[in-house]
Amino acid sequence: MRRNGPIALLFHTLVVSFVLAPLVLVCLVAFTAQDTLSLPFAGASLRWFKAVFDHPDFLQSFYNSLQLALLSATLSVCIALPAGLALGRYRFPGRDALNGLFLSPLIIPSLVLGVAFMRMFSVMGISGSFFWLVIAHTVVITPYVLRMVLAAVMGIDRSSEQAAQSLGAGPWTVFRRITLPAILPGLSGGWMLAFINSFDELTMSIFVTTPATVTLPVRMYMYATESIDPMMASVSALMILITGGAMLILDRLYGLDRILIGERV
């Protein structure tokens, strides 16, 4: 195996440091006891973490984001599972076009999607509905689940399914006892990745949320336009913790390298 030379190692170290430095600084500032965002600080304190839990708007926005991410990620799995099985196993007219349609939210800017959803909801008279907010998030995060399902489906050895069918097992039995367990890691990883993206979504959500359905990222953006204090760093640190924990679970379930590299369909 070819090893990286000192220049490559130095380059990788600089890139990783550049990416992690802002996150580390935010987490450090979250523990300040001062009233301003500043480093270094005199002493560590949990003052601003306590302030987050004493702020009802942030708590409600957190619950909104959590509920939204759970529902939209689950709905995305329900859509991506049959779509992934069809696209990964069968060749039919319009397959490539259908695959492109499902994956198109990945190449459309979130700003454009947000404006389009806002206009559509306004014309339909459904602005402010939490249900349609879930639908909007589902559209954005379904491609992530679909890619994971496609990778899992393409990696299945179908000899076990064929053997079960030859022994008299029906389609539902084969799916439930062979196919589903085989693709479950990819399905679980896709759900987790969709959950993370929905929970952290800001750009599109700004256009489709209302005062009753404000998500945590939108609440943070609104608060930052009015006041910059260490409480924002505390909220950011909590979000980093939640996202990092979810990514760790995702890595244990499926492997981040397979998500980032993917497999050809």
Q: How many residues does the chain have?
A: 265
Q: Which amino acid is at 122?
A: S
Q: How many CA atoms lie within 13 A of 90 on its CB side?
A: 11
Does 256 score more than 70 pLDDT? no
The number of distinct structural domains making up the chain is 1
Look at residue 17 and tell me if it is in a domain.
no
The pLDDT of residue 135: 93
CATH of the domain at 67: 1.10.3720.10
Does 114 score more than 60 pLDDT? yes
Look at residue 178 and tell me if it is in a domain.
yes
Look at residue 98 and tell me if it is in a domain.
yes
pLDDT tier, 263 (very low <50, low <70, confident <90, very high otherwise): very low
Does 189 score more than 50 pLDDT? yes
Look at residue 10 and tell me if it is in a domain.
no
Question: What span, in angstroms and rounded, lies between the C-alpha atoms of 52 and 178?
Answer: 46
Scanning 46-166, the segments in alpha helix (DSSP H) are 47-53, 56-89, 95-103, 110-124, 130-154, 159-166
**Which token pair is 238?**
């909590």
Look at residue 1 and tell me if it is in a domain.
no
The pLDDT of residue 264: 42
Query: What mean pLDDT is reported for the chain?
Result: 84
Whether the Cβ atoms of residue 88 and residue 265 lie closer than 8 Å to each other: yes
- Name the least confident of 49-53, 139-143, 200-204: 49-53
Question: What span, in angstroms and rounded, lies between the C-alpha atoms of 212 and 102?
Answer: 30
What three-state secondary structure class fits 210?
coil
Element (H, E) at 257: helix 256-261
The pLDDT of residue 258: 59
What three-state secondary structure class fits 196?
helix
pLDDT tier, 240 (very low <50, low <70, confident <90, very high otherwise): confident
Look at residue 20 and tell me if it is in a domain.
no
Element (H, E) at 253: helix 230-253
Cβ-proximal residues to 69 (8 Å cutoff; 6+ apart), any chain: 137, 194, 195, 196, 198, 199
- Number of other residues whose CB lies within 10 A of the CB of residue 260: 7
pLDDT tier, 173 (very low <50, low <70, confident <90, very high otherwise): confident
The pLDDT of residue 148: 87
**At which residue do the structure tokens 């991506």 appear?**
80
**Structural domain boundaries enclosing 211:** 54-261
Does 184 score more than 60 pLDDT? yes
Look at residue 29 and tell me if it is in a domain.
no
Look at residue 117 and tell me if it is in a domain.
yes
pTM for the full predicted model = 0.81
Is the Cα dihedral 207, 210, 213, 217 positive or negative? positive
Of residues 257 and 224, the one with the higher pLDDT is 224
